[in-house]
Each structure stands twice: as structure tokens, then as C-alpha cells.
Amino acid sequence: MVTIMILPVILAGGSGTRLWPLSRKDLPKQFLPITHESTMLQETLKRLEKLQALPPIIICNEVHRFLAAEQLRQIDKGDSHIILEPFGRNTAPAIALAAFQALKEHKDPVLLVLPADHEIEDAEKFCQTVEQSLPLAQNDKLVMFGVNPNHAETGYGYIKRGLSIDKTTFLVEKFIEKPP
């Protein structure tokens, strides 16, 4: 049996402006302890401990390099790689940077791309869901994880699910970017 290597890519480049004044340009929300004693970045990394995964790639703004490195050191994740963006260019270019770096260092790993600022209450279920999705990812499928919204929100995009593959997996009909 072939072991699938997961390479976590943590997107930590956001400015966190929706939580101003707590979150600011110099100290965005992913570097703050919003819902736990640990910061959101640290909680994201801790959530991955039950997965068999390579040391993660963290993508952050150049101005946050020391902040990110210190937070990684505090939770013994100093073997993580940090890619610095001189300025943010949104999600797709950040993922492309990580993918190029991944191919330099590993033989086609499965990238698990995660924002550093999400709250996931059931880490065990999250890890189970990631592991269940690996066969799809190994077969060159792009896997997206979603949650059912409980109210309309203009700050987030939406996944419109399509046809069912099984009782928990669906094709994506389309992605709706932050609707008005």
C-alpha cells in the first residue's frame, strides 16, 4: 500500500480587517488568540497533528515573518517552511507559490490548503474528512470542504453543490464569490 503524503499549506497572509480594531495591519487575526489561548495560526497547525503529514508550508506577508516564525517555534513547529509574500496577491497566487515549492522538494504530494483563521470545533472529524478525501485527491480531483451556512453572509463565497458522488461527497456545480 502506498502512503499518501499530505503537505499542509497554511494561508496566513490576510489583513483581518473585519475584526478591527483587535486585528490590525501589523497584527492580523491569524496571529491573535481569538477563540483559544493559542493563536488562530497555532490552532490550525495543532489541528493537523492527527494526520500523517509533511512539515507545513506557511505563506504570510513579509512584514509578519518574525511573528509567524515565533508562533511556530512556540508550538514546536520550527520545521515548517515559511514563504514570504512582499505584498498580498490573493489566494490563487499564494497556492501557486506553495505548489511550485512542493514540487521542488517532494514527489507530487497532496496539498491540503487551509486558511490560518478558521475555527473548526471538531478537529478529529475534520481529520477524518481529510483522510476520507485522499482517494479523490490522489485521482487528480480538487477537493473542497464546506459547511452549511446558517445565515446569509456577504463576507464569504459559497459552494453550490452539484450531483452526488456518495452520501457525503458531491460534485461542485459552481463557486459563488462573495455575493452582494
pLDDT tier at 114 (50, 70, 90 boundaries)?
A: very high
Question: Please, are residues 48 and 54 in contact by the beta-carbon 8 Å criterion?
Answer: no
Domain ranges (residues) in the chain: 6-142, 146-180
Fold of 6-142: Spore Coat Polysaccharide Biosynthesis Protein SpsA; Chain A (3.90.550)
State how far the alpha carbon of 94 is from the alpha carbons of 109, 115, 157, in Å: 17, 11, 18
Question: Whose CA is closest to 54, among 33, 77, 73, 34?
Answer: 77
- pLDDT at position 177 is 83
What single letter denotes the amino acid at residue 17?
T
As a whole number of angstroms, the distance between CA 7 and CA 3 comes to 13
- pLDDT at position 1 is 46
- pLDDT at position 11 is 94
Q: What is the mean pLDDT of the chain?
A: 87
pTM of the model: 0.88
Q: Give the mean model confidence (pLDDT) for residues 172-179.
A: 85
Cell 495560526, located at residue: 41
Q: Give the mean model confidence (pLDDT) for residues 19-47.
A: 86
As a whole number of angstroms, the distance between CA 12 and CA 8 comes to 12
Whether the per-residue pLDDT at 2 is higher than 70: the answer is no
Q: Give the mean model confidence (pLDDT) for residues 90-97.
A: 88
* % of the chain beyond a pLDDT of 70: 97
- Which residues, other chains included, contact 70 with Cβ-Cβ below 8 Å and sequence gap of 6+? none
Length of the chain: 180
pLDDT tier at 3 (50, 70, 90 boundaries)?
A: low
